[in-house]
Amino acid sequence: MNKVIARPRKAPTRHNGNGRASAQDRQASLIGAAASLFAAKGFSGTTTKDIAKAAGVSEALLFKHFPTKRALYSAILAEKAQYSELRAALEQAAADRDDERLFTLLAGFRIRKGADPTMLRLLLFSALEGHELSSMFFRQQYRVFYDLLAGYINRRIADGAFRAVDPQLTARAFFGIIVHHRILHDILGIPLHLTHEEVVREYVLLFLSGLVRNRPAREKNASERSASPSP
């Protein structure tokens, strides 16, 4: 049904002069065109004609390469994303036990000047539209970092440096701050009164230090109604 992607036989026949493209190149350009259109208008809001036009070929050729529109969608999700550089930097920061740098790297990677909202939009669309690959997409795009952060938090709790929080939930919370910020800014278009760097700094500091001003030494075993107004 979907033996579409990759066919590394003999020689890959790419004669790139300016005549025809190889199958690989053509598929890549179709995937690129489809990705930005699906991100902009959703799966059912995008027509195969639009995609073909954006890639500069006929609609018929699109169906030569991908048997259905849905297969094209899947090919996008299967294709995208390697963040090996970020990962290396993160692992270095983790090895150094440099909390602030680790969190700043994570936040700054998503909240920065040229950040491309395409992947975020695709992820949200595929989640909302209930595409079967959305969870795979989520796993590939987010889960990696999510697990990495949860693992780090866990280690830092063992170090005695972090409070005894739930690592999973805490990692979720931090990504929540970042993702939500991007939804407001990149998707809803809500303007920003600070630079990206200032925003990242504020979020990281807030997350690490909390909102309440330096509680005294108690606070450790505050597992029941600790912050009531009357002591």
Partner DNA sequence: TTCAGGTGAGTGAGCACTCACTTACTCATT
Partner DNA sequence: AATGAGTAAGTGAGTGCTCACTCACCTGAA
- Which residues here bind a copy of itself, judged by CB under 8 A? 40-45, 96-101, 121, 124-125, 127-130, 134-135, 138, 153, 160-163, 165-166, 168-170, 172-173, 175-181, 183-184, 187-190, 193-194, 199, 202-203, 205-215, 217, 219-220, 226-229
Contact of residue 213 among a copy of itself, DNA, none (CB under 5-8 Å per partner type): a copy of itself
Q: How many residues in the chain?
A: 231
Rounded to a whole number of angstroms, the minimum distance from the CB of residue 168 to a copy of itself is 7
Give the whole-angstrom CA distance, residue 107 versus residue 125. Answer: 22
Contact of residue 215 among DNA, a copy of itself, none (CB under 5-8 Å per partner type): a copy of itself
Torsion sign across C-alpha atoms 160, 104, 190, 138: negative
**Among candidates 41, 180, 45, 71, which has minimal Cα distance to 133?**
71
* 61: contact with DNA by CB under 7 A: yes
Q: What is the DSSP string of 109-134?
A: HHSSTT--THHHHHHHHHHHTT-TTH
Give the whole-angstrom CA distance, residue 79 versus residue 60. Answer: 22
- Give whichever of 113 and 193 is closer to a copy of itself, judged by the CB atom: 193
Q: Is 110 helix (H, G, I), strand (E, B) or coil?
A: helix
| Site track 9-28 with DNA (rule: CB under 7 A), x = hit | --x-x-x-x-xxxxx--x--
* 155: contact with DNA by CB under 7 A: no
φ, ψ for residue 221 (rounded to 5)? -95, 30
Residues sharing a CB contact under 8 Å with residue 133, sequence separation 6 or more, in sequence order:
73, 74, 77, 78, 126
Contact of residue 80 among a copy of itself, DNA, none (CB under 5-8 Å per partner type): none
Residue with tokens 């500091």: 205
- Give whichever of 17 and 191 is closer to a copy of itself, judged by the CB atom: 191
Rounded to a whole number of angstroms, the minimum distance from the CB of residue 4 to DNA is 12
Using CB under 7 A, list all residues that contact DNA: 11, 13, 15, 17, 19-23, 26, 46-49, 57-61, 63-64, 67-70
